[in-house]
Structure 1
Amino acid sequence: MISVTNIVISRDKSIRQCLEILDQTGMSILLLVNKKGSLLRTITDGDMRRLILSGAALDDDLSGMPEKTPISISQNMTDDQVLELMDLHQINQLPQVDVNNKPIGLHSRHMLRPRIQLSIPHMGEQELIYVKEAFDTNWIAPLGPNVDAFESELAEYVGSKHAAAVSSGTAAIHLALRLLDVGQGDNVLCSSFTFVASANPILYQGATPVFIDSEPNTWNMSPIALEQAILSCIGNGHKPKAILTVHLYGQSADMGEIMKIAEKYEIPVIEDAAESLGGRYKGQHTGTFGKFGVFSFNGNKIITTSGGGMLVSDDVELIEKARFLSTQARDPAPYYEHTEIGYNYRMSNVLAGIGRGQLKVLDDRVQARRDVFHRYRDGLKEFECLEWMPEPSGDVSNRWLTAVSIKPGYSVSAPDLIKALTSENIEARHLWKPMHRQPLFSGCNYFPHSPELSLSDYLFETGLCLPSGSNMTVPQQQRVIDQLGEVLNSGRWIK
């Protein structure tokens, strides 16, 4: 309950003073009381604007404010009763009064229903040990023992021979492209159904992205569209320099087929596994099939270093070159000498300490998010309109985010579902808007899965992500399920 000490006013206050109180307190309502302190009504900034429009001046008192029966609650009401009253009157705040009708507090919808976010950091117990070690030894700047250990521990976990810890997943993609000599005039085949960070580094290198649609079995890069794009580029005299495939929302792309095509045409593969750490394709970790794998430790990922990324490869020379480029490409000389462009991309020893602690609980985090997915699917199984992101036999998705789309033929709207959840202080998001529809990439070529189906467009228009944090409680998730069920059960969603 919020204190009302600073928002209780009497009629002798001027409109100007009332507006100043709202501005200073950050509140959206004031409580007007009589001389005995009993609640007369609530006043909003809208009420004061209407009073001014009726002819009142800023320095006039509130004597001209019309009477209005206040909506208030007693001390014995439950949270559910308070919310029911808010819903009935379509308001988000309610004053609580004592037996003498004197305001003693203010209830806010958002405090009664705390925000459920999409994916928040989930810290363990080991992170502080490694961070403290960095402080105790004064290894605060980039590089240090935690960086070295994090690289080797992450590489061992995923089954890659070498790794370079960097400042972000985007930086890792950029380095991979640079190490493959991607440059001006080159084509890079890139998943269209992804976040913009997958494609931006292609532009950093002056190259041109060619976008590839998804396929129904994984919602990731379509091998059919990929081969069509390769043949088209070769036919135009520009063999693609690289393939950048994304493992979306924790689910692996069909790496068996993609690698067959890549090897057939001798095109190196970069795996953007930013969202799929801990996920597997046929028993093998994502990020370990291509020439390079990329992982992200952004704050919303399955494990986090606050911000950071990792580039992995079995090629030791390429990883050593990545480390060189990510430390401003400083040559091995007794002074600062540089013969090529470098970047400030290395991870700090402090953040690497966080990553080491997080890595120890990664398997638990994967299982927790998979449990979240299964509770959604089981709790909403009666609704045939819902189509959950697939997981092919033999694959293990880390279910970073639970993604769902609406089947054709139903009147369910993803934006309406998102709006309904938002009204209950629950965060949900549209699935990624495809890169070929982004203004930034207008004019870039795009290859759909088939002439009849552009799956990435369909998924963007019909899909949404649900809250999926590994530290989301079962009661919190039940709130999401109940709200979705309430909307889906309404008459509007009949097929």
Structure 2
Amino acid sequence: MRKPFIPLSVPSLQGNELKYVTEAIETEWVSTAGPYIQQFEEKVSGYVKAKGAVAVQNGTAGLHTALQLLGVSSADEVIVPTLTFIAAVNPIKYCGADPIFMDCDDSLGLDPHKLQAYFEKECVFQDGVLRNKSTDKTIKAIVVVHVFGNLADMEGIMKIAERYQLPVIEDATEALGSYYTSGRYAQQYAGTIGTLGVYSFNGNKIITTGGGGMIVSNNIKLIDRARYLTTQAKRDSLYYIHDDIGFNYRMTNIQAALGIAQLEQLETFIETKKQNYFQYKKELAEVNGLNLLSFRKDTRPNYWFYAIEVDKSFGHSRHKLIELLGNHHIQARPIWDLIHQQIPYKKNCAYTIETAPKYLESVINLPCSSNLAKNDVSFIVATLKRLSAGIEEDKS
């Protein structure tokens, strides 16, 4: 009997989504003005305990705005991990700057040890400015990505950033709801530790507005300027006077209405994802050659994406496994190809990239939707067991 298709990650819309969106339509507040936008900003900033938030069109717009707020320009370079989605890097080029690619550690986040080594060996720090010896460009900022909802080593990274007086942008687009439980940043959420944080509400994220994103910060001046820049840098609400080059990056009221309904269910989504993660962990322990990647022990992650390492002992390559799972109507995906190897970035500096290629060759993501049922998890693992045993056909 053929099983129905199990997608990788789809939204769960079982709350007040229709009610709030209908109200937005009925009141005719459907564009980039309307009460839901401010409410959503306040609810997100309240949830993550940030002093302010600005709703934008998507996570990429949020990252671009964050770089603009820090004054990144063509005279600058920005540190960024190579193991990430390309949207974390492209906004650097939008600003005319160049990325410098760093390796990951076993959290899949930026490796602070290699970051420190790069600054010590390849840069000079003088009068509060860090410069690249080979290009004489200023290192302007660090972009940290919290991969799959797993927090990067923020304690290590922030110590280095503070030492060299560098602002940090947290790409927390995958990590809404993740926070530290111990250490220097205990009870602080992903996105609120650095200078600026950015979330995404794309359709596959833990909560969705269809598209959409959010900038958060504890620096109200930066938040006010973010709101100004994302509304075409309009000086006032009546006259068309513009003092800067701005952007049409604001979220719509319909999106915000959807987001509020989703945010109301976030902790429920996280609990479901947590239960499914530990079910995977328990059942996958019986499958030779597969290892479910763990989350940091000093955190409460949001369990957004589940990643498994495929060892040679499994009997199939990562690529072949994705194909075979597809034949069984189970969607899986590889981790992103490394950005420093992509055509637009091959000429940019990539510093001792050693760990990321290992994960590139071995990691795939398994279905992790917020409404994934327990029997679906069991079916996926049973399929993996059969594939491990060399049984590629489902006779049931």
TM-score by length of structure 2 reads 0.91
Shift of 1:185: 2.5
Q: 1:268 aligns with which of 167, 180, 184?
A: 167
Q: 1:317 aligns with which of 190, 210, 221?
A: 221
CA-based RMSD of the aligned residues comes to 1.7
Question: What secondary structure sits across from 1:190 in the alignment?
Answer: strand
The Cα offsets for residues 151-209 of structure 1, whole Å up to 9 and x where unpaired, read as 01100101111000000000000000000000003110001110011001001000000
What CA distance in whole angstroms lies between the structure 1 residues aligned with 2:151 and 2:76? 26
Please name the residue that 2:366 is paired with: 466
Q: 1:300 aligns with which of 187, 197, 204?
A: 204
Matched, 1:442 2:346: yes
What CA distance in whole angstroms lies between the structure 2 residues aligned with 1:116 and 1:244? 33
Matched, 1:199 2:199: no
Q: Is the contact between residue 206 and residue 304 of structure 2 (CA under 8 Å) also seen in structure 1?
A: yes
The Cα offsets for residues 275-332 of structure 1, whole Å up to 9 and x where unpaired, read as 0111112332111100001000000100000000000001111111111111111122
Matched AA of 1:247: H
Please name the residue that 2:280 is paired with: 376
Please name the residue that 2:356 is paired with: 456
Matched, 1:351 2:237: no
Relative to structure 1, the CA distance from residue 280 to residue 448 in structure 2 (aligned partners, 3 Å threshold; closer, same or farther) is farther
Relative to structure 1, the CA distance from residue 357 to residue 460 in structure 2 (aligned partners, 3 Å threshold; closer, same or farther) is same
Please name the residue that 1:141 is paired with: 31
Relative to structure 1, the CA distance from residue 256 to residue 408 in structure 2 (aligned partners, 3 Å threshold; closer, same or farther) is farther
What CA distance in whole angstroms lies between the structure 2 residues aligned with 1:409 and 1:154? 44
Q: Is the contact between residue 295 and residue 309 of structure 1 (CA under 8 Å) also seen in structure 2?
A: yes
Matched AA of 1:229: Y
Q: 1:393 aligns with which of 290, 293, 297?
A: 297
What CA distance in whole angstroms lies between the structure 2 residues aligned with 1:457 and 1:290? 27
Please name the residue that 1:173 is paired with: 63
Question: What secondary structure sits across from 2:300 in the alignment?
Answer: coil
The Cα offsets for residues 369-407 of structure 1, whole Å up to 9 and x where unpaired, read as 122211111111023422222222221221211001134
The Cα offsets for residues 130-162 of structure 1, whole Å up to 9 and x where unpaired, read as 222222322112122100010011001011110
Relative to structure 1, the CA distance from residue 159 to residue 140 in structure 2 (aligned partners, 3 Å threshold; closer, same or farther) is same
The Cα offsets for residues 49-93 of structure 1, whole Å up to 9 and x where unpaired, read as xxxxxxxxxxxxxxxxxxxxxxxxxxxxxxx3xxxxxxxxxxxxx
Shift of 1:477: 2.1
What CA distance in whole angstroms lies between the structure 2 residues aligned with 1:145 and 1:207? 36
Please name the residue that 1:187 is paired with: 77
Matched AA of 1:310: M
Name the stretch that deviates more: 383-392 or 263-272.
383-392
Relative to structure 1, the CA distance from residue 222 to residue 409 in structure 2 (aligned partners, 3 Å threshold; closer, same or farther) is farther
What CA distance in whole angstroms lies between the structure 2 residues aligned with 1:426 and 1:124? 23
TM-score by length of structure 1 reads 0.73
Matched, 1:253 2:152: yes
Q: Is the contact between residue 219 and residue 390 of structure 1 (CA under 8 Å) also seen in structure 2?
A: no
What CA distance in whole angstroms lies between the structure 2 residues aligned with 1:355 and 1:411? 43
Matched, 1:153 2:66: no
What CA distance in whole angstroms lies between the structure 1 residues aligned with 2:238 and 2:252? 24
Matched AA of 2:268: D
Report sequence identity in percent: 38
Q: Is the contact between residue 372 and residue 470 of structure 1 (CA under 8 Å) also seen in structure 2?
A: no
Please name the residue that 1:289 is paired with: 193
Matched AA of 1:219: L
**Equivalent runs, 1:191-230 vs 2, <5 Å:** 191-216=81-106, 218-230=107-119
Matched AA of 1:142: T
Query: Relative contact order, CA 8 A, sep 6+: which one is greater?
Result: 2
Q: Is the contact between residue 151 and residue 296 of structure 2 (CA under 8 Å) also seen in structure 1?
A: no
Which of 1 and 2 has greater Rg?
1
What CA distance in whole angstroms lies between the structure 2 residues aligned with 1:229 and 1:407? 31
Q: 2:244 aligns with which of 330, 340, 364?
A: 340
**Equivalent runs, 1:117-128 vs 2, <5 Å:** 117-128=7-18
Matched AA of 2:93: L
Shift of 1:409: 6.4
Matched AA of 1:473: A
Q: Is the contact between residue 284 and residue 292 of structure 2 (CA under 8 Å) also seen in structure 1?
A: no
Shift of 1:233: 3.6
What CA distance in whole angstroms lies between the structure 2 residues aligned with 1:428 and 1:176? 32
The Cα offsets for residues 245-270 of structure 1, whole Å up to 9 and x where unpaired, read as 00000100011111111001110000
Shift of 1:410: 6.0
Shift of 1:408: 6.3
**Equivalent runs, 1:14-33 vs 2, <5 Å:** none
What CA distance in whole angstroms lies between the structure 2 residues aligned with 1:489 and 1:408? 13
What CA distance in whole angstroms lies between the structure 1 residues aligned with 2:301 and 2:261? 22
Matched AA of 1:225: K
Q: Is the contact between residue 151 and residue 301 of structure 2 (CA under 8 Å) also seen in structure 1?
A: yes
Q: Is the contact between residue 284 and residue 291 of structure 2 (CA under 8 Å) also seen in structure 1?
A: no
What CA distance in whole angstroms lies between the structure 2 residues aligned with 1:353 and 1:491? 47
Question: What secondary structure sits across from 2:236 in the alignment?
Answer: coil
Q: Is the contact between residue 332 and residue 367 of structure 2 (CA under 8 Å) also seen in structure 1?
A: yes
Q: Is the contact between residue 288 and residue 313 of structure 2 (CA under 8 Å) also seen in structure 1?
A: no
